[in-house]
Structure 1
Amino acid sequence: MFGWGTAGSGLATGIAFTTGFAVMAPALLKKSSLVSLRKGRFSFRLLGQMTYNGSSEGLSELSAGITVFLFNWVMMKNWGEVGVAAFTAINYMLNLGVQMFVGLSDGIVPILSFNYGAGHLNRVKETLFLGFKTNATIGIIRIMIYPVILGDNGVWLTVPLAEFFTFVSTIYLLRKRLKKWSVSIHA
């Protein structure tokens, strides 16, 4: 936008993270805060437990970082800074859509848990079907909007294809689970 190129992008990223930290720092530094950097003692045992517990998430984040690096490397070779910037902008929009899916899915988990525990399998079925319809509607809207935005097909299609295969495997696993419960996914 300002002609600063990659250096400007790096500077903007640094400013964004610094701003987020600056907003949260006062709350973390207060002695009266529930989550405070001043309270507590360091424990190697607790650090080991946290490292073990977070190792799967850590590996997921590491693999995501490697994937982003490889995408950026391929795009820099093929399309330069403009390609990386375009992919980044589109990826943020994609992330917004994915977060809507995740938010909806996380939102229905307590409803599913309560009703499954209470033995109300029809409510579980209704909630799953409503969640499916909502996610499908959001997905269809995204599919209709993204082709207008996307130009090059090669690199861009990898993410939607990955989502499609995730969707197909989810439906397969969901039907398999519902058969165990003797509940049909069809309304």
Structure 2
Amino acid sequence: MNTIEKENKMGVMPIGRLLFQMSLPMIISMLIQALYNIVDSMYVSQISENALTAVSLVFPIQNLMISIAAGTGVGINALLSKSLGEKEFGKANDVARHGVVLALASSVIFAVAMFFFANPFMAMQTANADPEIFNYGVQYMQICCTLCIGVFTQITMERLLTSTGKTFYTMISQSVGAVINIILDPILIFGYFGLPKMGVAGAAAATVLGQVIGAVLALIFNLKFNKEINISLLKFRPKRAIIGGIYKIGVPSIIMQCIGSVMTFGMNLILMEFSSTAAAVFGVYFKLNSIIFMPIFGLNNGMVPIVAYNYGARHKKRIKKTVQLSVLTACCLMLIGIFCFWLIPDKLLGIFNASADMIAIGVPALRTISLSFIFAGYCIIIGSVLQALGDAVYSMINSLARQMFVLLPAAYILARLFGLSAVWWAIPIAEIVSVTLTTIFYRKVYRRKVQPLPD
């Protein structure tokens, strides 16, 4: 059992400096991840627009995979940080070990299930489209999903580092994995240096190899530098209470993020009724918005353990200051995103070898969707605060309402009544609903859990 004589920095360091120190490495690594997403699609678009459309259609499944891994990681992160804040170091070790086992088990289950689901999944979306889109999509999906052990392990190991405040090492593992992916993309797609030209399959292989290398690095960092926890599985025994505690927080987050996959799938179905180019634009939007949203998620990853730790340590003022500073930072970052999407949308689309048709559809789409950014920044931060305080179910309800009960029905109705140009307004409409629900839920949780803490 580990012993820690001095207070963890999350309980004593000034909040501004702590949040900066915790989040900056995560923001940098997330920006590199966003760059990888863009470069990956940029190279795929050079194969053909059909290839870009196929990869866009596979995105909901990739998002589902990441949702399961990241949602479980949220549970691990919050429970582990809270245990450290309460000085329950034995429990923190148990949480870490269970997290490793759950990551391995999840990757096996997902790989088997998705290998057989690739064909019917693509068939549902491409019934009236070019058969080439179907073939490209199946290739890409089967490689990414059957070799998903890298992404599950990488996310879990990085969450363990984040839980103890070692976000610098998370930045290194994420960045190296992304850079490896960026380097391998053109080599494997176009067959440089004597290697076979793999096309879309090469893009998938580069993704998987980057994830595996990132996972190995994160594992090494945990074993060598993360002395506050012990992840050795030699004496591991599954404990129902630990698994339940992880998933009590993690399942709402998993469901919340999986809802995003369902929403994307539904939007693809609506957009494919107009054209495959419209679906490609939606896929490109997700790649572009990652440049804006990934730093917010990096800020989130630095903020959650701070809030969870100080809730466990009963430090009310530190929780309040962390939340206020995080929301302010997120909203400022989102304003930058709005300006970029309004001023240079054609230049952004040009990165993906956009045709004249894609430019015509994409420019108004990006401008309309970006109006939701300022609301989204606030909602992302507050939703994660709810998770850190152990009330992730509210975030799940909010996400379900926003994406399933507002966004998709609004997109369908707008498509039927006013055509493609109106579909994009469904996203700002849904985000306004989300702001309202998020504020109501946060006030309720704050009064119940934070307000009673001593000043």
- TM-score, normalising length: structure 2: 0.30
One of 338, 341, 364 as aligned partner of 1:151:
364
Q: Note the alpha carbon deviations across 1:91-142, whole angstroms, 9 max, x for none.
A: 122234333223223322315642761344xx33322221121112122222
> Which of 163, 166, 180 pairs up with 2:434?
166
Provide the rounded CA distance (Å) in 1 between the counterparts of 2:216 and 2:447: 52
Equivalent runs, 1:104-115 vs 2, <5 Å: 104-109=299-304, 110-111=306-307, 113-114=309-310
Choose from 261, 264, 283 the match for 1:65. 261
In the alignment, is the contact (CA less than 8 A) between 1:108 and 1:127 conserved in 2? yes
Q: Distance in 2 between matches of 1:174 and 1:26?
A: 38
Deviating more after overlay: 125-134 vs 52-61? 52-61
Ranges in structure 1 where 5+ consecutive residues have no aligned partner: 28-32
Report the CA distance between 1:60 and its aligned residue: 4.7
Q: Distance in 2 between matches of 1:84 and 1:67?
A: 13
Would you say the 8 A contact 1:72–1:84 is kept in 2?
Answer: yes
1:141 aligns with 2:336: yes
* Residues 1:118 and 2:315 aligned together: yes
CA distance in 1, matches of 2:216, 2:278: 38
Q: Distance in 1 between matches of 2:307 and 2:215?
A: 35
Pair 145,168 (structure 1): closer, same or farther in 2 beyond 3 Å: farther
Residue 127 to residue 171, structure 1, CA distance change in 2 (3 Å): same
Q: Which residue of 1 aligns with 2:109?
A: none
Distance 2:329 2:215 in 1: 38
Return the alpha-carbon distance in structure 1 between the equivalents of residues 49 and 214 of structure 2.
Answer: 29
Question: Deviation string for 1:160-182 (max 9, x for gaps)?
Answer: 43334333332333344445518
Q: Give the letter for the 2:426 counterpart.
A: T
Residue 151 of structure 1 aligns to a residue whose secondary structure is helix
Cα gap change, 1:13/1:58 in structure 2, threshold over 3 Å: closer, same or farther? farther
Residue 49 of structure 2 aligns to which amino acid in structure 1?
A: G
Structure 2 counterpart of 1:14, from 204, 212, 222: 204
Stretches of structure 2 lacking an aligned partner (at least 5 in a row): 1-44, 56-139, 141-199, 224-232, 346-362, 366-420
Q: Which moved more, 1:131-140 or 1:65-74?
A: 65-74
Residues 1:23 and 1:125: Cα distance change in structure 2 (over 3 Å): closer
- 1:55 shift after superposition: 6.1
CA distance, structure 1, for counterparts of residue 208 and residue 263 of structure 2: 25
Decide whether aligned partners of structure 1 residues 93 and 163 sit closer, same or farther in structure 2, where only a CA change above 3 A counts.
farther
1:78 is paired with a residue whose SS is coil
1:4 corresponds to which of 32, 48, 67: 48
- Tell me what 2:75 maps to: none
How many residues end up aligned between the 2 structures?
A: 171
Please, what TM-score do these two structures have when normalized by structure 1? 0.62
**2:270 pairs with 1:74:** yes
Distance 1:128 1:60, change over 3 A: closer
Secondary structure of 2:266's partner?
A: helix
Identical aligned residues as a percent = 18
Q: 1:137 to 1:112 in 2, by over 3 A?
A: farther
* Counterpart for residue 132 of structure 1: 327
SS at 1:2 equivalent: helix
Match for 2:46: what amino acid?
Answer: F
Q: Residue 18 and residue 90 in structure 1: after superposition, are their counterparts in 2 closer, same or farther (change >3 A)?
A: same
Structure number with higher relative contact order (C-alpha < 8 Å, ≥ 6 residues apart): 2
Counterpart of 1:159, as a letter, is I
- 2:332 is paired with a residue of what secondary structure? helix
Quote the Cα distance in structure 1 between the aligned partners of 2:324 and 2:215. 42
Distance 1:87 1:5 in 2: 13
Distance (whole Å) between structure 2 residues aligned to residue 182 and residue 26 of structure 1: 43
